[in-house]
Amino acid sequence: DAMVIQNPRYQVTQFGKPVTLSCSQTLNHNVMYWYQQKSSQAPKLLFHYYDKDFNNEADTPDNFQSRRPNTSFCFLDIRSPGLGDAAMYLCATSRGGQGNYEQYFGPGTRLTVT
């Protein structure tokens, strides 16, 4: 089945130790998004790619970076995780172009910072 896959599902890292989360998609969608979601809150958009064009949200900390080496893969790098970065990280895709902009989400990666 076509889908959005995130690895790992659970990630534990130490305070200040860089960590990378990965996302892949078989939907061939143009747009990929990274969201941070904390408990009982709506997802908060960190950044998105339309094809290779990177779009950073104004309030996304510099500590968060992203790479999209090809259509299928997208990575979230957290350079120096703090305790406040513990959250669920969600990857999503959408087709882009004129249309409904319906999003397809991965299952998420739960990040714990110790």
Question: Which residue lies nearer to another protein by CB, 9 or 17?
Answer: 9
Sign of torsion, CA 12 63 18 9? positive
Residue 96 binds another protein, judged by CB under 8 A: yes
Least separation in angstroms between CB 12 and another protein: 16
Distance CA 42, CA 44 (A): 6
Residue 101 binds another protein, judged by CB under 8 A: yes
Least separation in angstroms between CB 9 and another protein: 9
Least separation in angstroms between CB 83 and another protein: 21
Residue 78 binds another protein, judged by CB under 8 A: no
Question: Which residue lies nearer to another protein by CB, 8 or 18?
Answer: 8
> Can you read off the two tokens belonging to residue 108?
């998420």
Residue 47 Cα distances to 1, 56, 114, angstroms: 26, 4, 25
Residue bearing tokens 């076509």? 2
Strand partners, 48: 33, 55
Residue 5 binds another protein, judged by CB under 8 A: no
Phi, psi of 32 (to 5 degrees): -130, 140
Q: Please report, as ranges, the residues that interact with another protein according to CB under 8 A.
A: 4, 6, 31, 40-43, 45, 48, 50, 90, 92, 94, 96, 98-108, 110
